Amino acid sequence: MFFETAQGVYMSAYLAGEHATDDELELVAMDRLDPNRAGPLAIHLERCEFCRQRLAAEIRDIAALREGLRNPRQAET
């Protein structure tokens, strides 16, 4: 599958069986992934349970960090 971006046309590495990187999943969880990479990754996530589980864990971790920053006293207990 090919995707057209402002930088040109490329084939998604995900189609070659590669999984999302930890950095990519972190960016997705924070809603900061480059839109040019979001489409191919979204398609991969639809098909890859392993990466969906990793993304869910990343979202939980970020939520816990944010909660700790909002309520530092509660995070200590």
pLDDT at 9: 43
* Residue whose structure tokens are 């995707």: 3
Neighbouring-strand partners of residue 5: 8
pLDDT at 37: 81
pLDDT at 39: 84
pLDDT at 71: 85
pLDDT at 72: 78
For every one of its 77 residues, what pLDDT tens digit does the chain have, with 9 covering 90 and above?
444 555 444 445 666 578 888 999 999 999 999 887 888 888 889 989 999 999 999 999 999 999 988 887 765 55
Are the C-beta atoms of 1 and 11 separated by less than 8 Å? yes
User: CA 54, CA 35: separation in Å to the nearest integer?
Assistant: 20
